[in-house]
Chain A
C-alpha cells in the first residue's frame, strides 16, 4: 500500500510542477505550489514513523503552506495594483 501512496504523491508532484511551469497567471502558479506541498505531505503521513514524526512534520508543512499562501497572495495583489496585470510573461522589467 505504501508503494502506491508514494507513486500517487510523485504523480501529484509532477502535475504541480507542470502547472508552475506552464501557467501565465500568478494565481495558477500558487495553486501548483499548494499541490506540490500536498504531495509531499502524503508521503510524510504515509511513512508515519515509529514515534509519529511524519504526522508532526505534516502538520508543520500545513502551517508553512498557510503562511506562504497569505504572503504570496499579498504580493500578487500588490503586483496587480502596480502593473494592472498578473500575467507573468508580461512582468519582465527586471529581465532587460
Chain B
C-alpha cells in the first residue's frame, strides 16, 4: 500500500514538473508547480516525516508560490493575451540535463543500499524541537538571522527609491 502510494505521488510530481518545462504560459506553470510541491509534501508524509511535510506546504505553497505569482502579475502587462514566454538553447539544455541524469543514475546504482532503510519515521515533532534547541541551536539562530536580513534586503531592493 505504502509503496504504491509513493510511486503514484512520484509519478504526479514528475508529470507536473514536465508540464512546467514544456508549457509557455507563466501562470499555468506556477499552478503546476503548486501540484509538484503538494505531491512532494504528501511524499514526505508517506515517508513518515510529518513535520517537514507541513513545513513544505506552509513555506512553498503558502509563501514562495504566492511570491512567484505576485512576480508574474507585476512583471507582465496583463491584457487580453495570456502571459507567454519563449525558450531558447533547447538542444544544449536537453543534452546537458540528460547527461547529468544519466551520470546521477549511474552513481546511484553504484551505491549499495542493502542495509539502509527510509528512516524519516523515527523523528517526531518532539525530537525535532529538542534537536533544534540542543544540537542545532547555532544553525537555527543563524537561519533566523539570515531570514531577517534577506527579507529586509529584499524590501530595500524592491522599494521605489533610487538611492542604491
Contact = CB atoms under 8 A, between A and B. Distances in A.
Given A19-B21, A55-B123, A77-B74, A35 B36 contact: yes
Interface string B54-65: 011001100110
A75 B74 CA distance: 13
B101 A63 contact: no
Interface string B14-40: 100110110000100110010011001
A45 B33 contact: no
B163 interface: no
A46 B93 contact: no
Given A11-B101, A28-B85, A52-B131, A18 B21 contact: yes
Size bracket of the B interface:
35 or more
Secondary structure dominating the interface of A: helix
13 contacts: A8-B14, A13-B104, A14-B97, A27-B75, A34-B33, A41-B56, A51-B135, A58-B49, A68-B150, A70-B151, A73-B67, A80-B75, A89-B88
* Closest 6 A/B residue pairs (Cβ): A48-B119, A67-B150, A25-B85, A21-B93, A10-B104, A74-B154
